[in-house]
Amino acid sequence: MPTAMTHIHSDHEEMSQAAAGATRKAVERVLRRQDTFSLVLAGGSTPKRLYELLAVEDTPPIPWDQVHLFWGDERLVPPSDPTSNEGMARETLIDAVDIPASNIHPILTAFDHPETAAKAYEKVLVDFFAGPPAFDLVLLGLGEDGHTASLFPEDRPHEAADPGWVVGMQAPPRHSPRGRVSLTLPAINRARQVYFLVSGEGKHESLVAVRDQQDPALPATHVAPEEELHWFVDRAAQGGT
Ligand code: 6PG
């Protein structure tokens, strides 16, 4: 089991600053012993500020020519769509840094079915890692229903016998767009580290259910990376005083 740590911050801004600093240090530490750093980006709104902070010059600097970007999940829409996770990352981070296009590995969505897009992305990962994916850091958000990436409780992804590394599905009706592609739990859990970013009082219940009560019915509960699991939360999500 990984070492799990919670970092509580006064608000979303301070949480984002802390997660940015930790990411920079993780990149610096890993690049001391290998040539590339593989970073998986989360979707949704919580990580936007973190991405903006990673895009600015700060110490330690991020050598973007040695960083490879992947996505934890994607909606089956074009990058130009306002709900695209790739589009959000390009707007907040990628367009502002000098990263080679060959270092950017989006989940391609120009497919009729999520399952086809998933198979295509699985090939991208297996080709890049010359075998099973082994990300250096995976960034994840947490839904109010305990989902993470596009792994939803209704699908019971933690019970899948052999889910592979990437899965395609229709998200439950409350989530739009419904066509989704997502890393599986085995792909996430082969990572060295995972950072959860959880902000806002609306996330308090799912944070407690996943982190504290470890409710087995919730996919996020089954996130267990090889080395370290960090929860970056703000006081509103943490709850209490
Ligand atoms: C997505 C995300 C998803 C997200 C959570 C939290 O594509 O929607 O990957 O798992 O991280 O739903 O979303 P917010 O950060 O917007 O609350």
**What pLDDT sits at residue 241?**
54
Task: Indicate whether residue 153 lines ligand 1 (CB < 6 A).
Answer: no
Mean pLDDT, the chain, whole residue set: 97
Task: Indicate whether residue 143 lines ligand 1 (CB < 6 A).
Answer: yes
The pTM of this model reads: 0.98
- Residue 240 predicted with pLDDT over 90: no
- Residue 2 predicted with pLDDT over 90: no
Percent of the chain at pLDDT exceeding 70: 99
User: 58 CA distance to ligand 1 centroid (A)?
Assistant: 26
User: 214 CA distance to ligand 1 centroid (A)?
Assistant: 19
Task: Indicate whether residue 42 lines ligand 1 (CB < 6 A).
Answer: yes
DSSP string, the chain: --EEEEEEESSHHHHHHHHHHHHHHHHHHHTTTSS-EEEEEP-SSTTHHHHHHHHS--SSPP-GGGEEEEESEEESS-TTSTT-HHHHHHHHTGGGS---GGGB------SSSHHHHHHHHHHHHHHHHTSS---SEEEE---TTS-BTTB-GGG-GGG-SS--SEEEEEPPTTSSS-EEEEE-HHHHHTSSEEEEEE-SGGGHHHHIIIIIS--TTSGGGG---SSEEEEEEEHHHH---
pLDDT band at 3 (very low <50, low <70, confident <90, very high): confident
**What pLDDT sits at residue 1?**
79
pLDDT band at 193 (very low <50, low <70, confident <90, very high): very high
- Residue 111 predicted with pLDDT over 80: yes
pLDDT tens profile 28-50: 999 999 999 999 999 999 999 99
**What pLDDT sits at residue 211?**
98
